[in-house]
Amino acid sequence: MIGELMRIQFLRRLLVTNKAILFAICLGATFTFLSPVFLTETNIFDELQQVSVMLIVALGFTFVLGAAEIDLSIGGIVGLVGVIMGKLMVGGGVPVWLAVIIGLLCGAGCGAFNATIISQIQIPPFVVTLATGSLFTGLLYILTNLIPVSNLPNSFDDIGMGYVGPIPVPVFIVIPLILVAYVGAKKSVFGRYVVGLGASPQVVHAAGVNVKRVRLGVYVVSGLACAAASVVLTALSASAQVSAGSDLLLDVIAAVVIGGTPLFGGKMDIVGTVFGCLIIEMINNGLNLLGVSSNYQIISEGLVILLALTMDVQSTKFLANLGKRQVRASRLAEKAEMSQRAG
Amino acid sequence: MATATKRGVARLLTAAMVVASGVSMLATTFAPGTAQAAAKVATAKQSISIAQIFDTIDSSRQAEITTENSVIAQFNATHPQYNVTLTTYNPQLDVQTQISDMETALLKKPSVILFVPVNTTGSLAAVKLAKKAGVPVINQDPTTPESSLYTASFQVADEQLYAQGTVNYIKAYLAAHPSVVLHMGLIFGAPTNQPTLVRESAIQALAKEMPGRIKIEATAFGNWLTATAQSLSQDWLEAHPDINFISCANDIMATGAANAVKLAKMEGKVQVSGYDLTPAGLQRVQAGTEAVDVGAVNAEYGWVIDAAIEVALGTYKGAPGWTGNAFNNKEVYEVTKANVNKMVGLANALTIPFAWPLSL
């Protein structure tokens, strides 16, 4: 009985906290089996380099979803910040470090702009961020006249294309950001307020928390994350492209949800987000390595994401059953213990 | 008392504003000389309004628009009896949006419409609307056979010629290097952008003709994005170590492919090709990181305005440069390191004088 209880508890812990990890391991094992180059050092580091942009945006987006908000302007912010930095460095002769700081501030500003409109004018976030996404994209079109900004300084390009030994520089940017996001989400008061806001905004408000301030923080975090991602993306592309970031939104949402943060808020899973991003990247990478036709890749990506979400739902049901078994097992264990004492 | 005075003043001001607005509206409509002045302007200049509905507006199209506006400014300056205006629309590669843009354009009663179909068949619904409204439409990306819905077609260079440019380079390269087998990765544009698919499918056809010399290792859609092309190229260089040529359907994606080659430290071992003769593309050709860049000179796209003027005035039939209802320039440049320095000046020119006398 005790053995079964312990087995159930272990399974429950494994599935509750590590669903995305399990799926990532299964996916990685599958591609390793199918492609001899999947698990090579070069490919692993290439994947980490490629996933860095989506991962940084997804870290910020986890806070947004955790608070039951939505930010559809992430693509626009990524593109706009890239162009601003590019124009400053190339046209304005601004040093790289200053251009990056200004870019980060612009990203935070875009996030603050979103939060202000949502809070002050009381328009749903879906509508506001859809509109501001167009606004940011339009601004970048006007700034560039649709011509990409190239000939960026080599020192800036090294942020994306440089290596420390075999490890790409973006990895060294992503790791501290993951740690900061984890501490912010799990260990800080702000993180608790975000989760509370997503779970029950009325309770948070009744507890005297300034909801508008929490929302501002959430969108500023998202904007900062987009700006940081833009630094990496622009450096990786060695140019500020007009369409940069335009294809990020759906992948980021899928990654965060697969990672365990619910679409309707109330929970944040930073570790899950990391593995959710790795899952999305492994799908793209693995299918490219296997030479799957683009037409079938689109279907395959959709099917794998559906499978991940189905496994998530099924494991939740399984967990509920496990819970019942756990209760039964512990009652039986108690009865057995009482009988033993009586005997 | 003070409140009543304030209210009274507010009412007075409101009434004054209403009266002033009414008087000014009446003045502008009925003032003596206004109607006559308008009529004088109308008879002094013949208005030719051109609506241009693209498939999408990217950096190449933006350069075309800049050229066209320069041509229009020059034409209006040298022909004071005409007033040519241009309005552009951007359906962003969506057929339904293109049809909606056509409806909007027709509301303004243009003299002629320049049209780049998003989809060869799907976009015909938009052209039907123009035909019904009696507005001539010039197809800027004609196919064979051409739909009878179009009044005319204009081509600075067709997609077949574009593709032929890269094919010519590949053939010449293989002839000059008889022991080389090209292992190629092909990055197409967007699946919805049908006319441009031939830029890469022509290479697939060449590979079938030369199976011992060209092997297609991988193909994918890059959706005209640098980052997507870069990821694809990185993955292919890993999965197919033999790849020694990545062909991209435009220079924006060639940027990504060139970056991937640089990251893999395979410059000089893997060739990259692109299209559109963008400044960045030509720079890469100069630097040796892009083997060939194929495209038409932007300034020649400005000739579409001259063609549009002739169609609007109905003078295009039999005019120089026209073959029936087709205006076909057939100028495509294959830019390699050998001729790039000569091309840069031509590629950056804002306008090039029309090659034929304009029929007005």
Q: What is A51-101 written as a DSSP string? A: HHHHHHHHHHHHHHHHTT---TTHHHHHHHHHHHHHHHHHTS---HHHHHH
Q: What is the average pLDDT score of chain B?
A: 86
**Collapsed DSSP state (helix, strand, coil) of residue A249:** helix
Top mean pLDDT of A197-206, A226-235, B85-94 is at: A226-235
Residue A320's pLDDT band (cuts 50, 70, 90):
low
Closest CA–CA distance from residue B240 to any residue of chain A (Å):
8
Interface touch A294/B219, C-beta < 8 Å: yes
Of B225, B234, B259, the CB nearest to A247: B225
- Strand pairing class (B182-188; B214-221): parallel
Q: Which helix (H) or strand (E) holds B47?
A: strand B46-53
Residue B10's pLDDT band (cuts 50, 70, 90):
low
What's the pLDDT at B15? 63
Structural domains of chain A, count: 1
The vertex-A94 CA angle with A90 and A98, nearest 5°, equals 125
Establish if B26 belongs to a structural domain.
no
Establish if B317 belongs to a structural domain.
yes
Establish if B126 belongs to a structural domain.
yes
Establish if B171 belongs to a structural domain.
yes
CATH number where A237 lies:
1.10.3470.10
What's the pLDDT at B18? 60
Residue of B nearest to A37 (CA): B239
A contacts of B188 (beta carbons < 8 Å): 294
Residue of B nearest to A234 (CA): B227
Establish if A301 belongs to a structural domain.
no
- Does B134 share its domain with B179? no
Mean pLDDT score, A40-48: 91
Establish if A198 belongs to a structural domain.
yes
CA A176/CA A24 separation, integer angstroms: 22
Which residue segment(s) compose the domain that B132 sits in?
46-157+298-330
User: B 21-80 residues with CB below 8 A of A?
Assistant: 57-59, 61-63, 66
- Does B93 share its domain with B165? no
Percent of chain B with pLDDT over 90: 62
A contacts of B63 (beta carbons < 8 Å): 147
What's the pLDDT at A2? 61
Q: CB–CB of A312/A272 below 8 Å?
A: no
CATH number where B277 lies:
3.40.50.2300
- Strand pairing class (B333-335; B292-295): antiparallel
Structural domains of chain B, count: 2
Of A43, A243, A291, the CB nearest to B238: A43
User: A 286-315 residues with CB below 8 A of B?
Assistant: 288-291, 293-295, 297
Does A145 lie at the interface with B, CB-CB under 8 angstroms? yes
What's the pLDDT at A293? 77
Interface touch A289/B61, C-beta < 8 Å: no
Q: Buried (b) or exposed (e) across B70-94, using 16+ Cβ within 10 A?
A: bbbebbbeebeebbbebebbbbebb
Residue of B nearest to A48 (CA): B231
Q: CB–CB of B193/B118 below 8 Å?
A: yes
Residue A262's pLDDT band (cuts 50, 70, 90):
confident
Who wins on pLDDT, B242 or A298? B242
Interface touch B59/A146, C-beta < 8 Å: yes
- Does B167 share its domain with B128? no
B contacts of A243 (beta carbons < 8 Å): 224-226, 252
**How many A-B residue pairs are in contact by the CB < 8 A criterion?**
98
pTM here is: 0.79
Q: Which helix (H) or strand (E) holds B138?
A: strand B137-139
What's the pLDDT at A336? 82
A contacts of B230 (beta carbons < 8 Å): 236-237
CA A96/CA A117 separation, integer angstroms: 32
Residue of B nearest to A147 (CA): B59
Mean pLDDT score, B208-227: 95
Does A114 lie at the interface with B, CB-CB under 8 angstroms? no
Establish if A319 belongs to a structural domain.
no
Q: Could you tell me the two tokens for B115?
A: 């049209």
Establish if A87 belongs to a structural domain.
yes
Establish if A7 belongs to a structural domain.
no
- For an interface test with A, which of B186, B216, B238 has the most A Cβ atoms less than 10 Å from its Cβ? B238
B contacts of A241 (beta carbons < 8 Å): 225-227, 252, 255
Residue of A nearest to B232 (CA): A288
Interface touch A241/B225, C-beta < 8 Å: yes
B contacts of A150 (beta carbons < 8 Å): 255, 279-280, 283
Establish if B344 belongs to a structural domain.
no
Interface touch B58/A293, C-beta < 8 Å: no
**Residue with the two structure tokens 């590629």:** B347
- Does B291 share its domain with B164? yes
